[in-house]
């Protein structure tokens, strides 16, 4: 509950920031809306006056040219101003969404790779696309409308008050009922919307995971179970969508009812006053002109409030999306700050990695190993050894800067590490959906074709691309389909060879490799070693033979 409140607060703050940036466009939209209201008042004034002049005063039609001109002008101006209002509010929405998307992307860039790896890609994609798109209604409709829902009725009230204060009083009494009911229903809608977003994220993540692991599902003949699961999730989602829609319909039904009652009361009052049955107060002064003018204005008085209630769910949707985005923007970054980080320059010929009293782990109070003290120079290799689960990968993540140390420090040349300063090869190499050249260029965008062929040769992969007649342009899909585990590992290592950084971290680079791949990887490590500081997690005796330093981790349980 408390978490939800913190999330809501963060969401509101994010929305406020976005509004601040788009304030001028939004205010221009409101100004156009106000001008359109004035045009509308002129339009109904001229119509009422014209009717009165022609029917009651029996004035000739030709004498009415000024009124007709005014009416035509207001008839033309009103839609033009409404269009301008929409233009500015949509522009504000477009810029706000663009800005938010940039914020999300820059948040992702600053977020630790470790956190990204733990997040469902479906939910991340849904955040960038659907959550950001959910802001559209808030900026394009709700925000300008909440100001217009005050300004337009006030302008109309002044006009009505001028001709009949009692009718103005009717409107004034009826007006607060609409926002009151709107708020009551809106609170319910907000809670449903929060659930709606959560369900959508889960459905997106769930569905994408099933698509990603389609091969595994096929292998285990589990397609039907997966289908049933997706269907069940979709049903949950459908129910929340229907609940949101039900609330939206309910709110508009309540509003329609109150609006109709208010307008009908004014119509009865004006009718009886014109008939002469009501003589109290300003009723005696009512003419066909003032009566018709007030009656034409009455629905317009409620229209902005009705519009606001229609757009109220846009607010709820934007708030839910903003809280979701804001939590991820602020709560995910587990990496150390990116200022003053070590970046590789051409004269960085020597570098030192120093870890002082470094405690690794994921939770304070649950340190995985005794404090670690290290000093490694360029050309040196540290091999970390120990049983499964003792924290070898955790140390590599901490050295890479993906995970903050629980205590102590890691410095490369007395500075925190930047992403340019490290190359990290995880246990499961990642492949992008692109060509061999694109995959190699991920870490080395400036590498030439010649250099790419050279490293592929070094790692025994050249024959693979010459067999595919497109060479470096041959395609690889993101799971590296068609390549063995050893070939994938070598491809990932080829990237590192193309652009070695001062610190190269390798997680079990020879584990479960065939003999041929293992030999290529070992040879590549020998090439890499003099150029950088190598830190390798491994049990392989041949890798251990490369070590200048060893770190033997004890089993966690033995502590
Ligand atoms: N994201 C995480 N959050 C919390 N605990 C984690 C997380 N990742 C790993 N752990 C825990 O931290 C401990 C060390 O994990 P780590 O992956 O570093 O072990 P390892 O020595 O590399 O094991 P292996 O040799 O099997 O790869 C394990 O007990 C593991 O369950």
Question: What's the pLDDT tens digit per position in 63-76?
Answer: 889 999 999 999 99
b/e map 519-556, b = 16+ CB within 10 Å: ebbbebbeebbeebbbbbbbbbeebeebbeeebebeeb
Nearest CA to ligand 1 atom 29: 389
Which of these, 535, 530, 460, lies nearest to 491 by C-alpha position?
460
Instruction: Output the pLDDT for position 85.
Output: 96
* pLDDT tens track for 382-431: 999 988 888 899 999 888 888 888 888 888 877 776 666 788 888 888 88
pLDDT at 334 over 50: no
- Is it the case that residue 45 has pLDDT exceeding 90? yes
Contacts (Cβ under 8 Å, ≥6 apart) of 369: 359, 360, 390, 391, 395, 553, 554
Reported as type and span, the H/E element at residue 454 is: helix 449-458
d(CA 367, ligand 1 centre) in Å: 12
pLDDT of residue 182: 67
pLDDT score, position 306: 80
What's the rounded mean pLDDT across residues 100-125?
78
Q: Which of 111, 115, 362, 426 has most ligand 1 atoms within 8 Å of CB, for mutation?
A: 362
Question: 458-480 burial by CB neighbour count: b if 16+ within 10 A, else e?
Answer: bbbbbebbeeeeeebebebeeeb
The answer, yes or no, to whether residue 4 has pLDDT greater than 70, is no
- Class at the top of the CATH hierarchy for domain 2-331: mainly alpha
**Does 385 sit in the ligand 1 pocket, CB within 6 Å?**
no
Q: In this model, does residue 338 exceed pLDDT 60?
A: no
Least confident of 106-120, 165-179, 334-348: 334-348
Separation of 428 CA from ligand 1 center, angstroms?
A: 15
512 SS3 class: coil
Q: Give the atom of ligand 1 at the shortest distance from the alpha carbon of 390.
A: 21
* Alpha carbon nearest to ligand 1 atom 17, residue: 393
pTM higher than 0.90? no
Domain spans of the chain, in order of start: 2-331, 352-552
Measured from the Cα of 114, ligand 1's closest atom is 1
Q: What is the H or E stretch that residue 374 is in?
A: strand 372-377
Residue 154's alpha-carbon distances to 72, 84, 102, 475, in angstroms, are 25, 22, 39, 65
- Interface TM-score (ipTM) > 0.90: yes
Q: Assign 336 to helix, strand or coil.
A: coil
Q: 362 C-alpha to center of ligand 1: Å? A: 9
Query: C-alpha dihedral over 222, 228, 234, 236, to 10 degrees?
Result: -120
**Atom 24 in ligand 1: which residue has the minimum CA distance?**
388
pLDDT at 478 over 70: no
Confidence of residue 253 (pLDDT cuts 50, 70, 90): confident
Task: Please work out whether the CB of residue 394 comes within 6 Å of at least one atom of ligand 1.
Answer: yes
Encoded tokens for 31: 């100004």
- Residue 8: predicted pLDDT: 78
Task: Quote the percentage of the chain above a pLDDT of 70.
Answer: 90
Displacement of CA 485 from its chain's centroid (Å): 35
- The pick from 394, 399, 558 for probing ligand 1's pocket by mutation, whose C-beta has the most ligand atoms within 8 angstroms, reads 394
Cβ-based neighbour number of residue 256 at 10 Å: 13
Ligand 1 near 368 CB (within 6 A): yes
Longest Cα–Cα distance in the chain? 112
CA angle 426, 430, 409 (to 5 degrees): 35
Ligand 1, from 112, 359, 386, 393: best to mutate by most atoms within 8 Å of Cβ? Answer: 393
Distance 470 CA to ligand 1 centre (A): 41
Rounded to the nearest angstrom, the distance between the alpha carbon of 383 and the centre of ligand 1 is 17
Is pLDDT of 551 > 70?
yes
Tell me which long-range contacts 273-279 makes (C-beta under 8 A, separation of at least 24): none
Q: What is the pLDDT of residue 296?
A: 93
* Segments in 435-557 forming alpha helices (H): 436-441, 449-458, 462-467, 485-498, 515-528, 541-544
Residue whose CA is at the smallest distance from ligand 1 atom 1: 362
391 lines ligand 1 (CB under 6 A): yes
Specify the range with the lowest mean pLDDT, choosing from 41-50, 168-177, 528-537: 168-177
Neighbour count for residue 151 (Cβ, 10 Å): 15
For residues 351-359, average pLDDT? 88
- Rounded-to-integer distance, Cα 310 and Cα 296, Å: 22
CA dihedral 439, 445, 447, 449 (to 10 degrees): 50
- Provide φ and ψ at 461, rounded to 5°: -105, -10
Contact (CB, 8 A) for 276 and 114: no
pLDDT bucket at 144, cuts 50 / 70 / 90: very high
Ligand 1 geometric centre to CA of 347 (Å): 37
Please tell me the distance between residue 489's alpha carbon and the centre of ligand 1 in angstroms.
21
CATH number of the 352-552 domain: 3.40.50.300
Nearest CA to ligand 1 atom 31: 389
Asked if the model's pLDDT at residue 60 lies above 80, the reply is yes
The residue behind tokens 């006009």 is: 159
CB 396 within 8 Å of CB 507: yes
- What confidence tier does 20 reach under pLDDT thresholds 50, 70, 90? very high
The secondary structure of residue 430, as a DSSP letter, is -
Q: Both tokens of residue 406? A: 């629980």
Tens of pLDDT, residue by residue over 156-211, are 999 999 998 888 988 888 888 777 776 676 666 666 766 777 777 777 778 878 88
Is the Cβ atom of 384 under 6 angstroms away from ligand 1? Answer: no
Nearest protein CA to atom 5 of ligand 1, as residue: 362
pLDDT in tens, 275-311: 888 777 787 788 889 999 999 999 999 888 888 877 8
Q: How many CB atoms lie within 10 A of CB 26?
A: 22
Which whole number is the average pLDDT over 509-520?
85
Residue 131, both tokens:
């959550």
Total number of residues shown for the chain: 559
């Amino acid at each position: 509950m408390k978490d939800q409140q913190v999330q809501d607060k963060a969401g509101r703050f994010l929305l406020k920031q976005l509004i601040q940036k788009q304030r001028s466009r939004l205010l221009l939209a409101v100004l156009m809306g106000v001008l359109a209201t004035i045009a509308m008042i002129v339009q109904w004034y001229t119509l009422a006056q014209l009717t009165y002049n022609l029917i009651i005063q029996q004035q000739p039609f030709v004498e009415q040219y000024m009124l007709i001109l005014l009416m035509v002008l207001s008839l033309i101006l009103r839609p033009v101003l409404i269009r301008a209002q929409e233009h500015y509010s949509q522009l504000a929405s477009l810029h706000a969404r663009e800005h938010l998307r940039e914020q999300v992307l820059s948040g992702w860039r600053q977020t630790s790779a470790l956190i990204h790896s733990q997040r469902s890609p479906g939910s991340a994609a849904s955040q960038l696309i659907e959550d950001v798109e959910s802001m559209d209604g808030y900026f394009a409709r709700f925000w300008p409308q909440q100001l217009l829902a005050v300004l337009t009725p006030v302008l109309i009230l002044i006009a009505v008050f001028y001709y009949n204060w009692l009718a103005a009083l009717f409107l004034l009494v009826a007006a607060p009922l609409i926002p009151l009911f709107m708020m009551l229903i809106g609170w319910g809608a907000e809670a449903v919307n929060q659930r709606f977003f959560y369900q959508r994220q889960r459905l997106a993540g769930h569905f994408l995971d099933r698509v990603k692991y389609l091969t595994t599902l096929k292998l285990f003949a589990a397609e039907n179970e997966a289908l049933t699961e997706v269907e069940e999730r979709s049903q949950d989602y459908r129910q929340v969508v229907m609940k949101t829609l039900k609330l939206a319909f309910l709110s508009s039904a309540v509003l329609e009812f109150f609006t109709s009652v208010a307008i009908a009361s004014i119509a009865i009052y004006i009718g009886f006053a014109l008939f002469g049955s009501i003589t109290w107060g300003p009723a005696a002064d009512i003419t066909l002109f003032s009566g018709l003018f007030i009656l034409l204005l009455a629905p317009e008085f409620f229209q902005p409030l009705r519009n606001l209630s229609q757009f109220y769910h846009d607010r709820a949707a934007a708030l839910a999306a903003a809280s979701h985005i804001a939590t991820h923007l602020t709560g995910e970054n587990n990496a150390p700050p990116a200022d003053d980080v070590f970046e590789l320059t051409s004269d960085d010929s020597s570098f030192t990695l120093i870890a002082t009293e470094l405690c690794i782990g994921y939770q304070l109070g649950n340190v995985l190993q005794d404090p670690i003290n290290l000093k490694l120079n360029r050309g040196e290799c540290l091999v970390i050894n120990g049983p499964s689960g003792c924290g070898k990968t955790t140390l590599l993540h901490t050295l890479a800067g993906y995970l903050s140390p629980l205590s102590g420090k890691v410095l490369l040349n007395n500075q925190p590490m930047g992403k340019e300063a490290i190359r990290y090869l995880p246990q499961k190499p990642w492949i992008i959906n692109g060509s061999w050249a694109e995959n190699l260029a991920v870490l080395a965008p400036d590498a030439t074709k010649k250099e790419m062929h050279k490293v592929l040769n070094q790692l025994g992969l050249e024959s693979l691309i010459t067999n595919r007649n497109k060479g470096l342009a041959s395609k690889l899909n993101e799971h590296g389909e068609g390549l063995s585990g050893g070939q994938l590992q070598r491809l990932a290592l080829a990237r590192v060879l193309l652009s070695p950084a001062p610190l190269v971290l390798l997680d079990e680079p020879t584990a479960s490799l065939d003999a041929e791949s293992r030999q290529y990887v070992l040879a590549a490590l020998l090439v890499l070693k003099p150029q950088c500081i190598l830190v390798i997690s491994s049990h392989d005796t041949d890798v251990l033979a490369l070590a200048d330093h060893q770190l033997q981790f004890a089993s966690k349980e033995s502590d």
